[in-house]
Copies of this chain bind each other. A is one copy, B any other.
Amino acid sequence: MRSAIITIGDEILIGQVTDTNAVWISQQLNSIGVQVGEMVTVSDEAGQINATLDRYIGKYDLLIMTGGLGPTNDDITKQTLAAYFNSKMVTVQEVKDKISAYFKERGRSMIESNLLQAEVPEVCRVLMNNHGSAPGMWFEKDGTILISLPGVPYEMKGLMEDHVIPELISRNNVPHVVHRTIMTQGVPESYLAAMLRDWEKALPECVKLAYLPRPGIVRLRLTIVDKCAIDAEQILDVTIAKLLDIIPEHVFGYDDISLEESLGELLRDRGLTLASAESCTGGNIARMITSVPGSSSYYSGSVIAYENRIKSGVLGVNSQVIEDKGAVSREVVEQMARGVREVLGTDTAISTSGIAGPDGGSNEKPVGTTWICVQNGEESYAKVYRFGGTRERIIDQASYTALQLLRRLLLKNL
C-alpha cells in the first residue's frame, strides 16, 4: 500500500507554522507497513486542492489530508471536497448531538458556525472526532482512499488512532513490520553510535537500525519487515539483550515510554515520594513529572527557587555558602535537595542550579554549566554538567539528566 500526505494551509506556506502533522502521520503509516511516497503542502484554495487530488487519486492507494476543516471562513476543505465528489452536504445527527452536548456540559451557548461542523459531503463516511467538533471524512474513488482530518494536532492524532490506523491494519495485507524502540538517555547520538559500532555490525541482515535523537534522549529503532512475526520478535529480543549488555545504565525503557513515566513507575513500585527544588530548570522538571496521570501519588511538589533569596529563605540553603561558592555549585544543589526533602517531607529529591543563558555565563562557569543533585534517605549524588545549545535545549537536557540520575540512584546503577 502506497500513500501520500496532503497538508492544507497558508500558514505553513508562509512559514508561520512547521508542519508536524505530516511527520507524525508518516511515522504511523510506516509503522504499519504503509509506504509514504510523497508529502505536499498546498494553500487553502479550491484550485490547488483539486489539482492535487487529480494528480494523486488513482496513483496512490491512500491519501491522508489534514487542515482546512475549522469553523471559520478561511477553511474551505470540506466544501471543496463536496464539489470535487459532486456531493451535496448533509447534517450528521450524531455529530450535531455531540457538539450540542459539549457546549451544554460547559454551560456555553452554541453559535451557528459550531453546528456547521456537523455537515459533511453525503458521499463520505464520517469518522467521529472524540477530541473536537470537526469529524474526519473517509472517501473512496478509483481505488484510492482519501481521508480528510482536522489540522489541529491532537484532534488529527485522535482520529488516526481511533479510526484510521485500526481500519488500515485490518484492510492491509502488506508485509508484517515489527518495530521496537529502545529509549536511552545520557549519551549523544554520535558517541552512542561509536559505543554500539560492533553491535551494529553484528546485527542480523533483516534488522534495520535507526538513531532517532530528541533533545536529551536518543531512541534506537529496530525494524524487521518480515512475513514471519514470531521469528521477528525472537530476533529482536536477542538483539536487545545484547544491547543491554553494552549500555545498561543508559536504557530507561522501550517503545516510546517517557523518562518521566519510567521514573514514576519506579517510585510507585517502591512506595517512595519525590520533591524537586529547581533553579535553572525553572519548573520544567515539575511539569514533566506532573504530565503523567496519577503522578500525585508519588510527587509532593516543588520549590522553584529562581532567586537566591528563595534558596536560603524557603529551602534553608546557607547564604554564606551561596556567597562563597556561588549559586551554581555542588554545595548549593546538595543543600537545595536536602532542604526540599525536609520542607516537603519526601523520601527522595532532585535539585538543579545552572546557567541556562543566553547571558549570565563566565569563563569559569560558561552558559550551560549545571549542577544536579539527587538524594534519598541514605545517599546523595551531585554532578556538574556542561550542556550545549540554546536556553531551551539546556533546560531540556538538564531536566532529562536529573530524572535519569534519580532513576539510576534508585536502581543502584550510578
Contact = CB atoms under 8 A, between A and B. Distances in A.
Interface string A392-414: 11010000000000000000000
B390 A190 contact: no
Interface stretch (A83-91, A166-174, A294-302): A294-302
A111 B15 contact: no
Closest 5 CB pairs of A and B: A283-B286, A282-B290, A15-B27, A15-B26, A283-B283
Contacts of A11: 210, 212, 221
State the number of copies, please: 2
Nearest to A387: B106
Contacts of A238: none
A92 interface: no
B303 A303 contact: yes
Contacts of A35: 13
Contacts of A24: 15
Given A283-B287, A301-B306, A309-B345, A358 B26 contact: no
A221 B72 CA distance: 13
Interface of A: 10-20, 22-30, 35-44, 48, 55, 70-74, 102, 105-107, 111-114, 131, 152, 154, 179, 181, 189-191, 193-194, 200, 208-213, 221, 223, 256, 276, 278, 282-287, 289-291, 293-296, 299-307, 309-310, 313-314, 343-345, 356-359, 366, 386, 388-393, 395
A111 B191 contact: yes
A17 B389 CA distance: 19
A211 B282 contact: no
Nearest to A43: B37
A282 B293 contact: no
Given A14-B30, A74-B210, 14 more contacts: A13-B26, A13-B36, A18-B23, A19-B23, A37-B43, A38-B43, A39-B40, A44-B210, A73-B193, A111-B190, A131-B389, A278-B286, A300-B309, A303-B303
Given A40-B38, A211-B74, A358 B293 contact: yes
A189 B294 contact: no
6 contacts: A14-B27, A15-B29, A111-B191, A278-B283, A301-B304, A301-B310
A222 to B, nearest CB: 11
B194 A113 contact: yes
Contact of A302 (B27, B113, B154, B302): B302
A352 to B, nearest CB: 12
Give the interface centre of A16, A256, A305 by most chain B CB atoms within 10 Å.
Answer: A16
A192 B114 CA distance: 12
A395 B291 contact: yes
Given A287-B283, A302-B304, A37 B13 contact: yes
A52 B100 CA distance: 45
Contact of A209 (B18, B74, B304): B74
B179 A14 contact: yes
